[in-house]
Amino acid sequence: MWYFKYMNSDLNKFRIFNKLKTVYRFAMAGDRHESSAEHSWGALILADLFMTMMEQNKSKIKLDRLKVYELLMYHDVVEIETGDIPLMPDLSHKNKSKNEHTASIILAKKLPDTLSLKYLKLFSEFQEHKTVESRFAKAIEAMEADIHELDYKEDWNGWTEEFLKQEKEHLFDEFPELKKSFGELVVYLRENGYFDVK
Domain boundaries, the chain: 2-196
Give the C-alpha distances (Å, rounded to integers) separating 94 from 23, 165, 185.
21, 19, 27
The per-residue pLDDT for 7 is: 60
Calpha distance 144→178 (Å, rounded): 11
Q: Which amino acid is at 184?
A: E
Cβ neighbours, 10 Å, residue 101: 14
Q: Whole-prediction pTM value?
A: 0.92
The per-residue pLDDT for 149 is: 97
Residue 70 has pLDDT above 50, yes or no: yes
pLDDT in tens, 152-174: 999 999 999 999 999 999 999 99
**Whole-number average pLDDT of the chain:** 93
Cα torsion 20, 93, 176, 136: sign: negative
Q: CATH 1.10.3210.10: does it fit domain 2-196?
A: yes
